[in-house]
């Protein structure tokens, strides 16, 4: 729970407030009406009154009464996720135990143990002390522990997060960045995995609004400008299909819906194309009202009619009818060539499938009643339980492993007997071996994929059939961690390595013990801790291991002092003063403070900071500071590829920073240019940069292939405006197709 603002300006009288609260409460009851049994209305009223009274003195950042937040969360649960009465009661009470005098016992007395357990789960999620080095990751781990107990906890938490994102406007900028990053890094993928596509899309769009405000506005504006033209095209595309479907006697709906701003932006980034070149700005949806036993057959018939009318792209067929996703999603997706030479994505599904696609988990269970087979959703939960029960790793590692293992898209692969296994995209033969059994994983020496021999690091693709080859002599090594993505494989490899390390470390322990006794110092925990800290290691096990493999020479110990039983390290020499400097192409070096980066809440001239290599910020970029252990402050761009992970996993280490104007220092950055290979093109570009714009070039590489050239130029600029002017000027040169700033490479 984050208390955030809902309305930037708030000035209602007490009477107006009461009316507003009652109006929201009645709207909630109207939405719940189809699900209310005779005694339920009374229970919901008790929960509402309990929450309203408990929160009566509390206000949100905007000044509005706090009770409006639980009411809004409850409405999202009912209207957008499709949850029922018990979840509504839990939503109304979700902040009471954490923020007010109400106890869990009070909740249990009034509503019983099931509701108390869910409220307890929601309280545990939020109740994390702020000093934890990886508090958000720890927080997320708690969410997952409750997921395996009752998935409604997660669904209510997602509703809570969605309402907080919708009302994020009045928060401070750094808080907006932290919450938005955490949302895009953890909560949006989780909503996707729960099958809540609409909520996932809205969370991503809202996060982008705060993380990439300029791009968000630009795409939103362009979507608005092209709306009429798009509607005309959709109608033209749909018309012949409608006629065919009506003639075929189908009961159906067909409509076009725009893609989300975030997904359009992702396409533009990944494919390095402009807005006008993103072909699938919308998807056409066909929803059939079919009897359960005829769903598949009718979806394929409709597919056949569509592909008779428009030519499909063979590699763009996605068949989730035969192989539903583990979150229950079923549909047929195809991309066809529509009028005016435009590619259009068409999604075909039944009403039942559509409800599962929009309401996810809640709808999945509604349809599951009476089904006997264990669903893929249940298998997914089972896998999470297994990993959580064996997990003792650092929380941040866990969060990263969880994302790659459980929140990624899946591939479907087969055992030699034809049993299907689901694995995350990017899985290797070794991941597959561990998914079968840990004992097979640790002894895996290779595999046969589709009857061909491959190495254990071989990346699998959907449809592969895999046979694992094992050997009793095989032992895992550190390299294995580089080519597995599943949390189970990583966890088992680390366990095996620890075991090996422990055996080697026993020898080191004996060497350290002899050395200390020889010096007259006692072998005890205090002295071992001193040595561990002195050699900058994380644990005594590491110390013993490094001694055993001869990476540490204990001869240095003769410099130590022995006071009674205690060992004291030698006093360090007076530390040398290191000044961090920026290279200036003019030849002079300037002190870091002259770069004039304002670090809020601190005197910036006393802070050593470095510019992150992953995104190379320059003045004018939207930036934040990140406190790195042992390295001081690192400055990242807010759209840096690592930003979401840093802000989501270590939000409390983020420091607000911004640039002050300074035209005396140059910063190294880079641009990538693609264009038609022509005589003198390099000359034109270098003349513009060095001659007209007077910018200093650090390095230039140009490669031409079959009439097209790609050039990477590293240059020094003073700020982002200068870089933008350069990009625009180069774009205007004849034959230049695209100019982009380096985003993720070390320039």
How many angstroms separate the CA atoms of 166 and 584, rounded?
A: 44
Q: What is the DSSP letter of 165?
A: H
Q: Contact, 610 vs 635, CB < 8 A?
A: yes
Q: What is the DSSP letter of 745?
A: S
How many angstroms separate the CA atoms of 91 and 88, rounded?
A: 5
Mark whether 378 is an active-site residue: no
What residues contact 672, with CB distance under 8 A and at least 6 apart? Answer: 710, 711, 712, 738, 739, 740, 741, 742
Catalytic residue among 40, 53, 79, 98: 98
As a three-state string, the secondary structure of 333-395 is EEEEECHHHCEEEEEEEEHHHHHHHHHCHHHHHHHHCCCCCCCHHHHHHHHHHHHHHHCCCCH
Q: Contact, 327 vs 302, CB < 8 A?
A: no
Q: Contact, 532 vs 512, CB < 8 A?
A: no
Closest to 201 (Cα-Cα) out of 223, 216, 184: 184
**Entry field: residues in the chain:** 747
Mark whether 553 is an active-site residue: no
Q: The tokens of 176 are what?
A: 């907006």
Question: What letters, b where the CB count within 10 A reaches 16 and e where it falls short, cover 192-210?
Answer: bbbbbbbbbbbbbbbbbbb
For residue 332, the cross-strand partners are: 319, 348
Q: β-strand 343-350 against 282-288: which pairing, if any? A: parallel
Reported as type and span, the H/E element at residue 301 is helix 295-309
Q: What is the DSSP letter of 60?
A: -
How many angstroms separate the CA atoms of 83 and 362, rounded?
A: 6
Burial class (CB in 10 A: 0-12, 13-18, 19+), 471: exposed
Query: What radius of gyration, in Å, describes the C-alpha atoms of the chain?
Result: 30
3-class secondary-structure state, position 158 = helix
State phi, psi for 627 to the nearest 5 degrees. -75, 115
As a three-state string, the secondary structure of 526-552 is HHHHHHHHHCCCCCHHHHHHHHHCCCC
In this structure, the number of other CB atoms found within 10 A of the CB of residue 514 comes to 12
Q: Contact, 641 vs 612, CB < 8 A?
A: no
Q: How far apart are the first and last CA of the chain?
A: 40
CA 463, 469, 470, 476: dihedral to nearest 10 degrees? -60
State phi, psi for 169 to the nearest 5 degrees. -55, -40
How many angstroms separate the CA atoms of 503 and 309, rounded?
A: 68
Closest to 82 (Cα-Cα) out of 337, 356, 363: 363
**C-alpha distances in Å from residue 726, one per residue of 260, 381, 659, 665, 672:** 31, 52, 20, 17, 12
Catalytic residue among 17, 53, 79, 99: 99
Active site residues: 98-99
């Amino acid at each position: 729970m984050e208390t955030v603002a809902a309305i930037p300006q708030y000035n209602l009288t007490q009477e107006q407030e009461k009316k507003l609260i009652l109006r929201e409460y009645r709207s909630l009851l109207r939405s719940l009406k189809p699900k209310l049994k005779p005694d339920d209305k009374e229970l919901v009223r008790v929960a509402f009154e309990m929450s309203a009274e408990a929160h009566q003195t509390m206000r949100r950042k905007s000044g509005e009464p706090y009770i409006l937040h639980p009411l809004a969360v409850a409405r999202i649960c009912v209207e957008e996720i499709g949850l029922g009465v018990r979840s509504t009661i839990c939503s109304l009470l979700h902040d009471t135990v954490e923020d007010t005098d109400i106890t869990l016992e009070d909740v249990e007395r009034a509503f019983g143990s099931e509701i108390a357990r869910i409220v307890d789960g929601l309280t545990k999620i939020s109740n994390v002390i702020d000093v934890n080095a990886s508090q958000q990751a720890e927080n997320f781990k708690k969410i997952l522990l409750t997921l395996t107990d009752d998935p409604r906890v997660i669904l209510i938490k997602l509703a809570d997060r969605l309402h907080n994102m919708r009302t994020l406007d009045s928060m401070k900028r750094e808080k907006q960045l932290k919450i938005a990053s955490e949302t895009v890094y953890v909560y949006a993928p989780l909503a996707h995995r729960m099958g809540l596509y609409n909520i996932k899309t809205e969370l991503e769009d809202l996060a982008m609004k705060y993380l990439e405000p300029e791009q968000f506005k630009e795409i939103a504006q362009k979507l608005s400008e092209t709306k009429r033209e798009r509607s005309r095209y959709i109608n033209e595309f749909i018309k012949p299909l409608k006629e065919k479907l009506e003639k075929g006697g189908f009961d159906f709906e067909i409509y076009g819906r725009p893609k989300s701003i975030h997904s359009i932006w992702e396409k533009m980034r990944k494919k390095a194309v402009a807005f006008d070149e993103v072909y699938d700005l919308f998807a056409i949806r066909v929803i059939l009202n079919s009897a359960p036993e005829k769903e598949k057959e009718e979806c394929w018939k409709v597919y056949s009619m569509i592909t008779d009318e428009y030519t499909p792209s063979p590699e763009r067929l996605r068949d989730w009818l035969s192989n539903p996703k583990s979150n229950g999603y079923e549909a047929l997706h195809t991309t066809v060539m529509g009028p005016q030479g435009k590619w259009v994505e068409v999604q075909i599904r039944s009403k039942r499938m559509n409800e599962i696609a929009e309401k996810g988990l809640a709808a999945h269970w509604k349809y599951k009643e009476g089904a006997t087979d264990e669903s893929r959703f249940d298998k997914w939960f089972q896998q999470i339980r297994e990993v959580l029960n064996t997990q003792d790793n650092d929380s941040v590692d866990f969060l990263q492993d969880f994302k790659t293992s459980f929140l990624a898209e899946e591939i479907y692969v087969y055992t030699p007997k034809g049993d299907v296994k689901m694995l995350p995209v990017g899985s290797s033969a070794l991941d597959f071996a561990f998914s079968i059994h840990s004992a097979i994983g640790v002894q895996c020496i290779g595999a046969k994929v589709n009857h061909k021999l491959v190495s254990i690091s071989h990346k699998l693709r959907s449809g592969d059939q895999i046979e694992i080859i094992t050997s009793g002599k095989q032992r895992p090594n550190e390299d294995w961690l580089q080519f597995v993505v599943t949390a189970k494989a990583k966890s088992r490899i680390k366990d095996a390595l620890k075991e090996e390390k422990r055996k080697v470390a026993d020898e080191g322990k004996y060497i350290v013990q002899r050395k200390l006794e020889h010096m007259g110092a006692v072998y005890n925990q205090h002295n071992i801790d001193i040595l561990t800290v002195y050699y900058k290691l994380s644990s005594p096990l590491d110390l013993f291991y490094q001694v055993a493999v001869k990476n540490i020479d204990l001869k240095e110990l003769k410099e130590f002092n022995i006071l009674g039983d205690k060992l004291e390290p030698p006093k360090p020499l007076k530390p040398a003063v290191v000044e961090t400097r920026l290279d200036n192409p003019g030849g002079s070096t300037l002190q870091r403070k002259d770069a004039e980066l304002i670090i809020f809440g601190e005197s910036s001239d006393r802070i050593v900071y470095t510019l992150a290599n992953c995104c190379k910020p320059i003045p004018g970029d939207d930036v934040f500071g990140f406190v790195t252990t042992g390295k001081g402050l690192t400055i990242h761009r807010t759209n840096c590829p690592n930003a979401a992970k840093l802000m989501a996993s270590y939000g409390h280490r983020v420091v607000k920073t911004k640039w002050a104007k300074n035209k005396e220092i140059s910063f190294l950055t880079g641009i990538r240019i693609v264009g038609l290979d022509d005589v003198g093109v390099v000359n034109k570009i270098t003349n513009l940069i060095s001659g007209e714009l007077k910018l200093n070039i650090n390095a230039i590489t140009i490669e031409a292939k079959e009439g097209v050239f790609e050039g990477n130029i590293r240059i020094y600029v003073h700020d982002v405006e200068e870089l933008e002017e350069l990009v625009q000027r180069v774009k205007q040169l004849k034959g230049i197709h695209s100019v982009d700033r380096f985003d993720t490479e070390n320039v």
